[in-house]
Structure 1
Amino acid sequence: MRIIFLLALLLVAITGYTQSPVQGTITDEQTGEALPFAYITNLTSQKATVTDIQGRFTIEAQPETDTLQVKNMGYITQTVLAKDAQIVRLQTSVLSLNEVVVSANREQEKRTEAPVAISSISAKTLGDNKPTTIDQVLNQTPGVYMVDLGNEQHTMSIRRPIDYGASYLYLEDGLPIRTSGVFNHNALLEINMANVRNIEIIRGPASSIYGSEAIGGAVNFITQKPSSHPTAGISIQGNDIGYKRTDFYASNTFDKVGIRVAGYYANQQDGTLAYSDFDKLALSLTANYYISQNTELVWSTAFIDYYSDMSGSLDSADFYSKTYGSNQTFTNRQVDALRTKLALNHYWNDVAKTTVTGYFRNNSVKQNPSYRVTDDFKPWIPSGNPNLAHGELNDNSFESYGIIVQHKQEFLWMNSSLISGASADYSPNTYKANYIEIFKNEEGIYESFTETDSVLADYKIDLVNTAAYLQGKIEPVRDLSLIAALRFDQFNYHFENALDSNAYTAVLDGRNSFSRVTPKIGVTYDLKNNRGLYANYSQGFVPPQVGELYRGNKIPTLKPVYYSSYEVGGWMAFANEKARVEATLYRMDGRNEIISVLQNDGSTIRQNAGKTTHQGIEYNLQFQPVDELMFRVSGTNALHKFLDYEESGTDYADKRMPQAPEWIANAQVTYKPQYLKGLRASVEWQHIDGYYMDAGNTRSYEGYNIFNVRLGYEWKAFEIWGNMLNATDKLYATVARANKWGQTYSTGNPRNFNVGLAYRFFKR
């Protein structure tokens, strides 16, 4: 009888502690996206599992008593009761040195295992700063100066002077926004910021993985995936200098199908500069189909409709007197861009993945460009009609059909891995330009123009780019990783000219081919305790762009550009892991660098320079002494100069390159008080050192310091913010140049106040 009683008690105990399957989903708190491959541990039973590609998991647990621990790289570890694990939202870790990056090799990996200088701007950073233009967050990263040219127009400086050439590769989810060979320094006009989750910036050549144009750096905009549960949001904002914008998004996953739609409309009227209105509509649609736990199909489409007046630059008298008029009255830029892609991702097992991506682009840039307006009168000759100027109407359009195939395989032997890939891109490109006569009145205003039958350019080019690449990693000893990569690119330009040999563009029909093997070798050493070192050698390669090679020429003479880069860097956490610092030393030597050269009529042409060198140090420090307070300082000190370059009989060897600040810095203090959850406040400082405005180093710009103040508050589903940009109302130029005509300045905005209101819905 006693035995029967004890057995009964044991049965009750076993029944009381019997575990049952608990199901849940792990998501990003900021975006609602599912987090695949997150690690869940039952702290009671020590059983563990990993989320699938939809962020879902199943684990044995007692719902009322067992505790689950959720870990994912780049996020704060969280513990929850098993009964509360239906939806677990993870917060990003501000000071995490093990953040995940994908741009270093097109695949997800730890930042500490990538031997490159790479920075990541998180969704939280984008949400806290509320940028109206992309430069307002890109310039917070070390070594980056994105130049605001107004109305989302821009150019860039990463390990190079401020320039308008093909030195940077702009990507969306690892795919170039534009086809290689048809670079546009304004390419980021074609990004839908309402659909961006985070941004990764590789500094230095990345040609071994991404190909040409990735020499100064590569900027990868990673778009948001459909959320695992219903989310939606809408916001409105505007400032006191004519800018207005509305953003929206909606997303959900229905069993195996995820959908996200996002977009924004921006408009500016009566801005600081005369003749500077613009409109932009950006729309994106993404659909994920989860075929199985190991296979997903991802389709995405982005459409951009953009129109802007082109006010041009200010001369020195107007700039320093704050006379913000414009001598342009009709110049403009119109961009229509459509991008769509379909990707199949298949995980063969835990150590093998294959991705096949097909894509299509349809892009048109129509312009009556202010930078093509040249006066007939030449004060240094002097001759010509002072009331006559010359310009053009042009249309540069292309379509693209391409495919990229990549496979990653990991091996147990020495913890090694191999990435192999191949791509093919066919992009027919057309360019047409008609000459216009411009009337310039006595006040110097370009008042009107007359279209003519004179054709400056009318050509078609079939661009074909094929490539193959290979990257291997091996760990010969523990914590020491060696990485080697090699890529081969073949570019073929088939040129057909509709004009004859007497035309302004008179290149004969023909073919031009450019090819290059670009290597990369790197090493990382993990010193543990959030400390590590890395070094690499890499090369960059850029063929002449189509417009540089053919437009206005009789014989195509430009040579490809080559870069060799050496860098060493490291990272370290200290102060009980409340602070971290990262630093990189680099040297980049260029051959045949293509630069702009002024002509006697005031126009510019692109020309190869002999040799150049670019060297410096980049650094970033973050310190969070208490949970409420965060300090960040980032910057670069650099030297850019000609080693071998002669122009019009003048030798510029050992001269500093123009538009090349020696010191660029950005710092920010952010305060989020515990006593008032949802409140945030920050002060930001942006510094641009003085630099020479011309290649002869005869004139210089003093640089500038500006301050931005941001304040925001989140309450339940609502958010309100107010940003004061250029708080001290500093007169500054985002870029300053000098030539025979004088000095020109692209003026930065005066002090302006931006306010916004947002509503966000998500399933709790």
Structure 2
Amino acid sequence: MKTQFLGALLLILSITSLHAQNLVIKGLVQDDLSKDPLIGAVVVNQKNNNYTVTDAKGNYTLEVDYEDIILIKMLGYTTLSIKAKEVGETISMQQDDYVLNQVIVSASRDAQKREEAPMAITSIGATMLEESKVQSLEQVINKVAGVVMADLGSEQHMMAIRQPMSTKSLFLYMEDGLPIRPTGIFNHNALNEMNMAVAQNIEVIRGPASALYGSEAIGGAINIITKTPSLVPTAKVQLRGDSYGYQRIDAVVEGSTNDGKLGVSVGGYSAKRENGYLDHSDFDKTILSAVLQYQVNESLKLTSNTTYMKYYSDMGSSLDSTSFYDRDFTSLHNFTKREIELWRSTFTVDKVWSENSKTVAKAFFRTNTLGQIPSYRIKNDWGNPAVAKGEVNESSFQSYGGVIQHNQKIPSLKTTIRIGASIDYSPTAFWANYIDVDRDETGRYVGYTETDSVLSDYQTNLLNTGLYAQVEVNPVDRLFITAGVRSDHFKYDYKNNLDENAFSGAPNSINYFNAVTPRIGATYTLLNGLGFYANYSVGFMPPQVSELYRGVKVPTLEPSYYNNAEVGSWYELPKGLGYLELAYYNMNGENEIVSVLQDDGSYENENAGSTNHEGVEAALHFKPIAQLFLRVGGSYAEHTFEQFDTGTEDLSGNTMANAPNWVANMELTYKPKFLKGFRAALEFQKVSEYYMDNQNTKKYEGYHLFNLRFGYQFKGFDTWVNIMNVTDELYATRVSKSAWGENYNLGAPRTFQIGIGYTISKNK
């Protein structure tokens, strides 16, 4: 009896001991930077491969043994390995910009894996944005292979993506998938209207994306994605400045209610520069965004996003060759300027009907006023060298519109269908008056007098409606085929307030434009991480309002079309060492608008041009050890005129101006184990020589720059020092040549940027 009792006691103790090894772990998985909950993160027990997936609030529950090793995985994040007994209530995951299989949204207006999108697209993640500590967007966008964003100062810029550096409407700029300006009134500086302080990530599409987004997405598209409110209360403030009078303060406050249903985020920055390295280059910008998100239930989410900005900048002149090489950075102008005031609001409804069915609807409102005394409009009066002529002008618009897209998965056919529609109604106005400009004895433009001479005064009501559809099929494992088409319809309703004898004397008129743009492509990924893609796509650009109505009689113009074919490949290096991407493209532009000399001596815009754009792009992200990161990106491209006759000269066969063949950007980052939170990075950027003019008479030698970045994070504090243009190279971000001479847009000399920030959240 005693033996039986002792055996039972040992059995009970054994069972109790075994149960003591069981453990139920639960908690929250969140983004380390934003504190946003991560939905769909996989929590795996390494011993038996049992796993669970985080829910809509980032929560999970998993039963494990006390000594088990737990892995937490998610696309775009560094995998974590933690002992079960050491798992806390909150697990923070770091974004990894060296992971290939990131989740992207710009390729389909919905989340999908990068390897499913048959196009050249790069996602600049929150880690790169946060660690670069950029003062303007070109300092991070130029890290993308094949992209040159030319800095024109005061957050102004030109862009070159599969096109020369240009002010033409060849690039689409978006915020959360919506264009920030209506079609027809493109502004090459439009990215200075973005709020960098609340950007979660930036996606850069290279090549036409008109089949999804419509006009102007030709050379490429840039989509800046706003971060959503964090789950926990968080506040961040950053102060920064540089050695040339730049000062800026960033602030973000965000959080959600305890049940996670209501989230609020308010953030922005105020920046200014006084007495910079270039004369007459002061600027002042204040921008603020507010995001309100409400999760009505598990299937319905409402989001509003509102941004207000007020911007002022001096508009100094570019430099001639003598001033540039003598380092005489005196501006010829002391009163030219640019002012912007804008407001834009978006309201989004996300409705999940079922696991396979989802609808997203966005309604938007935009108002924007841009006033200028532009330096580039000032022309000398050759009859009287003491005076010149210029203008003061203002363009404005209001926009009302929306986009709706439905995504339907058909699992039995391994197919996803996306259909959508958009409408944008934008009343616009433009006026310009002559001004008399005074010159001093040195030739500087030092003042002006307003006149009652009106150059332009008109309104144009723009209406753009579009329908699109995209089908994605996964017929066999690892093969994805995508086909899409979009139909756009434009109505330009023009009213001139001046008579036919005015500078802009075009009669009242209504112009219609229509375009159909297809896209088809496929991707295939082998088991060893080697993948391939190919696509054919068409981009289009309707005439701009200024091409139709400013200073001309109304010409007969049609949209310009760009046909693009490309192939590409990627290879995910083994053991998480990084990845390699390659792309080859060939794009032909047809029906391009050219100012052609007429028999009566006047010029008229005509669809008379064609161009060819061909290039190879490559990017390598390499992580040989945990502490060392190498990023290499570059491209070789040729941009040529196939047929381009203006009536006075034939440019056919010439290389296009401002089109460097070679572009490269490389960066080596070191994060030592022995000093956690410290980072150091060395960046190299090269832009090769290019022709200054379309006549191919002279070249600019290009430039190469070195930048150093140091940063240190400790608990909630973050400090940094960036040394830009370490070698103090004299360079120009863009050089052009005309009958009036050479014009150099000065690049920044050696600049020391310093900053300090502090983030406080419930988790810290």
Q: TM-score, normalised by structure 1?
A: 0.95
**Residue 442 of structure 1 aligns to a residue in which SS?**
coil
Question: Matched residues in 2 for 1:595 and 1:130: separation?
Answer: 41
Question: Matched residues in 2 for 1:480 and 1:746: separation?
Answer: 47
In the alignment, which residue of structure 2 is the partner of 1:649? Answer: 648
Structure 1 residue 11: Cα displacement: 7.8
Q: Quick check: 1:188 aligned with 2:188?
A: no
Structure 1 residue 529: Cα displacement: 2.2
Question: Matched residues in 2 for 1:55 and 1:500: separation?
Answer: 64
Compared with structure 1, are the counterparts of its residues 570 and 128 closer, same or farther at alpha carbon in structure 2 (3 Å cutoff)?
A: same
Question: Matched residues in 2 for 1:595 and 1:56: separation?
Answer: 58
In the alignment, which residue of structure 2 is the partner of 1:523? Answer: 522
Q: Quick check: 1:733 aligned with 2:722?
A: no
In the alignment, which residue of structure 1 is the partner of 2:182? Answer: 179
Q: Percent identity?
A: 44
In the alignment, which residue of structure 2 is the partner of 1:430? Answer: 429
- Matched AA of 2:200: R
Question: Matched residues in 1 for 2:668 and 2:210: separation?
Answer: 36
Question: Matched residues in 2 for 1:271 and 1:604: separation?
Answer: 40
Note the alpha carbon deviations across 1:57-100, whole angstroms, 9 max, x for none: 3x253696666432211112224437735221111234312111
Q: Quick check: 1:214 aligned with 2:217?
A: yes
**Residue 650 of structure 1 aligns to a residue in which SS?**
coil
Structure 1 residue 268: Cα displacement: 0.3
**Residue 371 of structure 1 aligns to a residue in which SS?**
helix
Note the alpha carbon deviations across 1:537-568, whole angstroms, 9 max, x for none: 00001101112211111223443110000000
**Residue 221 of structure 2 aligns to a residue in which SS?**
strand
Question: Matched residues in 2 for 1:604 and 1:619: separation?
Answer: 42
1:257–1:287: 8 Å Cα contact kept in structure 2?
A: yes
Q: Quick check: 1:497 aligned with 2:502?
A: no
Within a 5 Å distance, the mapping from 1:206-285 to structure 2 comes to: 206-254=209-257, 255=259, 256-285=261-290
Question: Matched residues in 2 for 1:63 and 1:158: separation?
Answer: 53
- CA RMSD across the alignment: 2.2
Within a 5 Å distance, the mapping from 1:681-720 to structure 2 comes to: 681-720=680-719
Note the alpha carbon deviations across 1:479-538, whole angstroms, 9 max, x for none: 211110010111111111111111111111121111111000001011122210000000
Specify which of 352, 359, 362 is matched with residue 357 of structure 2: 352
In the alignment, which residue of structure 2 is the partner of 1:342? Answer: 347
Note the alpha carbon deviations across 1:412-440, whole angstroms, 9 max, x for none: 23421111111111111111111111112
Compared with structure 1, are the counterparts of its residues 87 and 605 closer, same or farther at alpha carbon in structure 2 (3 Å cutoff)?
A: farther
Compared with structure 1, are the counterparts of its residues 42 and 517 closer, same or farther at alpha carbon in structure 2 (3 Å cutoff)?
A: same
Structure 1 residue 392: Cα displacement: 1.2
1:196–1:222: 8 Å Cα contact kept in structure 2?
A: yes
Q: Quick check: 1:619 aligned with 2:622?
A: no
Structure 1 residue 592: Cα displacement: 2.5
Compared with structure 1, are the counterparts of its residues 557 and 373 closer, same or farther at alpha carbon in structure 2 (3 Å cutoff)?
A: farther
- Matched AA of 1:610: G
Question: Matched residues in 1 for 2:607 and 2:167: separation?
Answer: 14
Structure 1 residue 10: Cα displacement: 8.5
Q: Quick check: 1:24 aligned with 2:27?
A: yes
Compared with structure 1, are the counterparts of its residues 606 and 330 closer, same or farther at alpha carbon in structure 2 (3 Å cutoff)?
A: farther
- Matched AA of 1:402: G
Structure 1 residue 376: Cα displacement: 2.0
Specify which of 351, 361, 365 is matched with residue 366 of structure 2: 361
**Residue 548 of structure 2 aligns to a residue in which SS?**
helix
Q: Quick check: 1:50 aligned with 2:53?
A: yes
Point out the more displaced range, 79-88 or 315-324. Answer: 79-88
Question: Matched residues in 1 for 2:49 and 2:380: separation?
Answer: 78
Compared with structure 1, are the counterparts of its residues 240 and 604 closer, same or farther at alpha carbon in structure 2 (3 Å cutoff)?
A: farther
Question: Matched residues in 1 for 2:698 and 2:87: separation?
Answer: 66
1:234–1:248: 8 Å Cα contact kept in structure 2?
A: yes
In the alignment, which residue of structure 1 is the partner of 2:43? Answer: 40
Any unmatched runs of 5+ in structure 2? none
Structure 1 residue 478: Cα displacement: 2.0
- Matched AA of 1:49: T
Note the alpha carbon deviations across 1:702-747, whole angstroms, 9 max, x for none: 1111111111111221111111111111110100000000101001
In the alignment, which residue of structure 1 is the partner of 2:129? Answer: 126
Compared with structure 1, are the counterparts of its residues 577 and 49 closer, same or farther at alpha carbon in structure 2 (3 Å cutoff)?
A: closer
Structure 1 residue 459: Cα displacement: 1.0
2:472–2:483: 8 Å Cα contact kept in structure 1?
A: yes
**Residue 467 of structure 2 aligns to a residue in which SS?**
strand
Note the alpha carbon deviations across 1:144-168, whole angstroms, 9 max, x for none: 0001001100010000011101000
Q: Quick check: 1:139 aligned with 2:142?
A: yes
Question: Matched residues in 1 for 2:448 and 2:533: separation?
Answer: 57
Question: Matched residues in 1 for 2:560 and 2:638: separation?
Answer: 20
In the alignment, which residue of structure 2 is the partner of 1:388? Answer: 387
- Matched AA of 1:76: T
In the alignment, which residue of structure 1 is the partner of 2:74? Answer: 72
Point out the more displaced range, 394-403 or 549-558. Answer: 549-558
1:165–1:595: 8 Å Cα contact kept in structure 2?
A: no
1:63–1:83: 8 Å Cα contact kept in structure 2?
A: no
Compared with structure 1, are the counterparts of its residues 346 and 42 closer, same or farther at alpha carbon in structure 2 (3 Å cutoff)?
A: farther
Question: Matched residues in 2 for 1:544 and 1:212: separation?
Answer: 10
- Matched AA of 1:545: Q
Within a 5 Å distance, the mapping from 1:313-462 to structure 2 comes to: 313-377=318-382, 384-462=383-461
In the alignment, which residue of structure 2 is the partner of 1:464? Answer: 463
Question: Matched residues in 2 for 1:749 and 1:608: separation?
Answer: 38
Q: Quick check: 1:544 aligned with 2:543?
A: yes
In the alignment, which residue of structure 2 is the partner of 1:381? Answer: none
1:62–1:82: 8 Å Cα contact kept in structure 2?
A: no
Q: TM-score, normalised by structure 2?
A: 0.95
Question: Matched residues in 1 for 2:322 and 2:168: separation?
Answer: 28
Compared with structure 1, are the counterparts of its residues 5 and 576 closer, same or farther at alpha carbon in structure 2 (3 Å cutoff)?
A: closer
Question: Matched residues in 2 for 1:538 and 1:731: separation?
Answer: 40
Compared with structure 1, are the counterparts of its residues 529 and 605 closer, same or farther at alpha carbon in structure 2 (3 Å cutoff)?
A: farther
Question: Matched residues in 2 for 1:142 and 1:580: separation?
Answer: 14
1:372–1:391: 8 Å Cα contact kept in structure 2?
A: yes
- Matched AA of 2:116: E
Point out the more displaced range, 526-535 or 89-98. Answer: 89-98
**Residue 230 of structure 2 aligns to a residue in which SS?**
coil
Any unmatched runs of 5+ in structure 1? 378-383
Q: Quick check: 1:96 aligned with 2:99?
A: yes
Question: Matched residues in 2 for 1:212 and 1:485: separation?
Answer: 15
Structure 1 residue 682: Cα displacement: 1.1
1:165–1:594: 8 Å Cα contact kept in structure 2?
A: no
**Residue 104 of structure 1 aligns to a residue in which SS?**
coil
Question: Matched residues in 2 for 1:522 and 1:220: separation?
Answer: 21
In the alignment, which residue of structure 2 is the partner of 1:676? Answer: 675
Point out the more displaced range, 627-636 or 31-40. Answer: 31-40
Structure 1 residue 269: Cα displacement: 0.4
Question: Matched residues in 1 for 2:648 and 2:223: separation?
Answer: 41
**Residue 192 of structure 2 aligns to a residue in which SS?**
helix
Note the alpha carbon deviations across 1:11-52, whole angstroms, 9 max, x for none: 8579757776x5422211122122222223455775543333
In the alignment, which residue of structure 2 is the partner of 1:661? Answer: 660
1:61–1:82: 8 Å Cα contact kept in structure 2?
A: no
In the alignment, which residue of structure 1 is the partner of 2:153? Answer: 150
Compared with structure 1, are the counterparts of its residues 557 and 27 closer, same or farther at alpha carbon in structure 2 (3 Å cutoff)?
A: same
**Residue 413 of structure 1 aligns to a residue in which SS?**
helix
1:507–1:556: 8 Å Cα contact kept in structure 2?
A: no
Structure 1 residue 606: Cα displacement: 6.9
- Matched AA of 1:313: S
In the alignment, which residue of structure 1 is the partner of 2:759? Answer: 760
2:99–2:578: 8 Å Cα contact kept in structure 1?
A: no
2:582–2:619: 8 Å Cα contact kept in structure 1?
A: yes
- Matched AA of 1:650: E
- Matched AA of 1:51: T
Specify which of 147, 166, 178 is matched with residue 163 of structure 1: 166
Compared with structure 1, are the counterparts of its residues 82 and 393 closer, same or farther at alpha carbon in structure 2 (3 Å cutoff)?
A: farther
**Residue 477 of structure 1 aligns to a residue in which SS?**
coil
Question: Matched residues in 2 for 1:63 and 1:234: separation?
Answer: 42
